[in-house]
């Protein structure tokens, strides 16, 4: 299979709160890039294009029982039967690897009851479930006509994720049965931007005077605000033309997604009934707890910034009963003694809440996003940017949309229809057109450790080393690229030379360093850390040691870093294994 021209692309959008898959054939893409099949999941009485990122694993700790809505419903059954205690139930676990500097293949994560399993097992089971779900749905259509090598798989990750987190997801996908050779990683805001390039005007909601035609014409600059459940990813693009884009500002963002609103709602309920009651309710009436949060999800998207004076929420009868049985008090009367006494009112199972309380659930996330966008718009790279494209599930929230619109009246705010599906659909397009992002911006300064001639009074004495070629300064940061630098797709940088030091040496390992500083001097400087380790294997041992030298270069500009090595005396390229999961 030519990796840039697959017969079929299958994209998996692995989200913090919701996940799904979509696909299209190459001939369909050629006719209409936005024509694709999106999986529909059954949740209760509703069809949804996404399923909760929820995994239920059997007591053996390895076998997947169910994923998505099926996992939620099956676990509720186990709880009702009192059989759940040995099972593993994971919800919203994607954030466990966000910004985790100690992430490894052996990282453990806790399920909702505190039991642990390897994170790699949990992530791979979720991906495996979606892979198998695709194969089961398309088996009859594909059998005999398409082979494994004809499918390009695309897995989405936030643009702000580290190389180790990307490699973790790749390894999880491989463990799930996806062939590494046919797997591509797509950055979420980039994927969404690719979709928006192809959508007609009628598929957008626009606030402001600028049209989408102006936004996507050659030379135009815009910001992509990808607000998901866990993270908010922000990138800035310029339209190159021909369906291609270049990044103008390094990917940035933070953990300000929609789950922060859910957590604020959860803490509100806990304040009303107390933590012991809430925990007992969660365990004994899991199905009612799920219904309560599913109903809040609908309210969350509909809430508007100024309009609602009162919001009605449903409080499960089972929660009220547990409270009154365990405390001996009447919930309605107890509420009158809380800090919310004049702003809430319980009528049977309906809780009427003053709109200011509900809006408070959103304040931290919305303010963090708005303030961060304001700071970015002051940067030089965003001069001339006239549009903000809002994508991701949290971008469908009226509160967030209205806050962005009111905060930036001079900028067009563009929201595509089904913003929560923009990343998924865009990932399918990315699989067909992997060279669409022609330039990216480095998030860090990258380099390796090396030695340079020691200069008295300039270099630190602690790094002075006497060698057979004279005085050297070791642990110098040999810079390949620097933070904020623009790099073209597949651009090769570095070309640093290593001398081998043993006659029978056929491997060579070296650490790769990153720093948030532009020009660190030593790899031991504050802010420098090891990103990963490169290992060159199968080196030629047939020539004398003095003639053996290896040239190493790093290839930037893609969604994942690549390292190449070449033996200088033969010109033969060597395989380099790069491990970011140390």
Contact 386, 211 (CB under 8 A): no
Give the model's pLDDT for residue 498. Answer: 76
Tokens of 453: 């001639």
Contact 522, 475 (CB under 8 A): yes
Give the model's pLDDT for residue 159. Answer: 93
Give the model's pLDDT for residue 2. Answer: 44
Residue 219 CB partners (closer than 8 Å, separation 6+): 238, 239
Give the Cα separation of 47 and 50 in Å (integer).
Answer: 9
The Cα-based distances of 172 to 102, 114, 165 in angstroms read 17, 22, 10
Q: Which domains does the chain have, with CATH numbers?
A: 8-199+417-431 (3.30.420.40), 218-416 (3.30.420.40), 442-579 (2.60.34.10)
Question: Phi/psi of residue 42, each to 5°?
Answer: -100, 120
Q: Can you give the length of the chain in residues?
A: 582
Task: Please report how many Cα atoms fall inside a 13 Å half-sphere around the Cα of residue 281, on the Cβ side.
Answer: 26
- Vertex 16 angle, CA 278 and 579, to 5°: 125
Give the Cα separation of 3 and 5 in Å (integer).
Answer: 6
Contact 397, 370 (CB under 8 A): no
DSSP one-letter code for 114: S
Tens of pLDDT along the chain (582 residues) come to 444 577 899 999 999 999 999 999 999 999 999 999 999 998 777 789 999 999 999 999 999 999 999 999 999 899 888 899 999 999 999 998 887 878 999 999 999 889 999 999 999 999 999 999 999 888 767 666 677 788 999 999 999 999 999 999 999 999 999 999 999 999 999 999 999 988 877 788 877 655 555 677 888 899 999 999 999 999 999 999 887 999 999 999 999 999 999 999 999 999 999 999 999 998 888 889 888 998 888 888 777 655 657 889 989 999 999 999 999 999 999 988 888 888 999 998 899 999 889 889 999 999 999 999 999 999 888 888 889 999 999 999 888 998 999 999 889 999 999 999 999 999 999 999 999 999 999 999 999 998 889 999 999 999 998 887 789 999 999 999 999 999 999 998 876 777 777 777 888 889 999 999 999 999 999 999 999 999 988 887 877 777 778 888 889 989 999 888 888 878 888 768 899 997
CA-CA-CA-CA torsion sign (141, 143, 148, 150): negative
3-state SS, residue 436: coil
Give one DSSP letter per residue of 380-398, joined into a string: GGGTT--EEEEESGGGG-H
Give the model's pLDDT for residue 306. Answer: 56
Give the Cα separation of 579 and 104 in Å (integer).
Answer: 10
Give the model's pLDDT for residue 209. Answer: 54
Give the Cα separation of 446 and 295 in Å (integer).
Answer: 46
């Amino acid at each position: 299979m030519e990796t840039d021209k697959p017969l079929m692309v299958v994209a998996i959008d692995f989200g913090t709160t919701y996940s799904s898959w979509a696909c299209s054939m190459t001939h369909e893409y050629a006719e209409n890039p936005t024509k694709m099949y999106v999986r529909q999941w059954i949740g209760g009485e509703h069809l949804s294009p996404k399923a909760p990122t929820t995994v239920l694993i059997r007591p053996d700790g390895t076998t997947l029982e169910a994923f998505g809505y099926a996992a939620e419903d099956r676990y509720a059954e186990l709880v009702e039967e009192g059989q759940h205690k040995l099972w593993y139930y994971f919800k919203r676990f994607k954030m466990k690897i966000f910004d985790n500097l100690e992430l490894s293949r052996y990282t453990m994560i806790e399920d909702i009851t505190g039991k642990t399993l390897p994170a790699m097992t949990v992530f791979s089971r979720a991906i495996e479930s979606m892979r198998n779900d695709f194969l089961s749905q398309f088996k009859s259509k594909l059998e005999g006509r398409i082979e494994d090598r004809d499918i390009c798989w695309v897995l989405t990750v936030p643009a702000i994720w580290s190389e180790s987190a990307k490699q973790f997801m790749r390894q999880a996908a491989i463990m799930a049965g996806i062939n590494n050779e046919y797997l591509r990683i797509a950055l979420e805001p980039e994927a969404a931007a690719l979709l928006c390039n192809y959508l007609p005007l009628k598929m957008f909601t626009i606030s402001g005077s600028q049209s989408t035609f102006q936004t996507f014409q050659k030379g135009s600059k815009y910001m992509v605000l990808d607000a998901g459940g866990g993270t908010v990813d922000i990138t800035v693009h310029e339209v190159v033309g021909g369906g291609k884009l270049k990044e103008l500002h390094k990917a940035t963002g933070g953990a300000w997604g929609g789950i922060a609103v859910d957590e604020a709602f959860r803490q509100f309920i806990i304040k009303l009934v107390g933590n012991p009651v809430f925990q007992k309710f969660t365990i004994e009436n899991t199905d009612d707890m799920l219904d309560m949060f599913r109903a809040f999800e609908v309210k969350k998207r509909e809430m508007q910034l100024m309009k609602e004076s009162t919001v009605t929420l449903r409080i499960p009868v089972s929660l009220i009963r547990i409270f009154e049985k365990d405390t001996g008090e009447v919930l309605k009367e107890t509420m009158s003694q809380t800090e919310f006494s004049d702003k809430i009112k319980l009528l049977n199972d309906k809780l009427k809440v003053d709109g200011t309380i509900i809006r408070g659930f959103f304040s931290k996330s919305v303010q963090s996003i708005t303030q961060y966008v304001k700071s970015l718009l002051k940067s030089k790279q965003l001069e001339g940017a006239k549009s903000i494209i809002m994508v991701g599930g949290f971008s469908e929230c009226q509160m967030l949309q209205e806050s962005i619109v009111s905060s930036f009246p001079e900028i067009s705010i563009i929201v595509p229809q089904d913003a929560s599906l923009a990343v998924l659909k865009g990932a399918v397009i990315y699989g067909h057109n992997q060279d669409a992002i022609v330039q990216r911006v480095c998030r860090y300064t990258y380099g390796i450790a090396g030695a340079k001639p020691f200069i008295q009074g300039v270099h630190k004495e602690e790094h002075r080393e006497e060698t057979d070629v004279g005085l050297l300064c070791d642990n110098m940061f040999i810079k390949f690229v620097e933070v904020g630098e623009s790099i073209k797709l597949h651009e090769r940088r570095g070309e640093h030379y290593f001398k081998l030091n043993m006659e029978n040496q056929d491997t060579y390992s070296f650490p790769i360093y990153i720093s948030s500083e532009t020009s660190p001097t030593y790899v031991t400087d504050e802010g420098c850390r090891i990103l990963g380790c490169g290992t060159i294997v199968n080196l030629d041992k047939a020539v004398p040691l003095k003639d053996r030298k290896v040239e190493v270069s790093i290839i930037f500009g893609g969604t994942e870093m690549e390292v190449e090595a070449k033996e200088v005396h033969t010109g033969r390229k060597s395989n380099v294994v790069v491990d970011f999961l140390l």
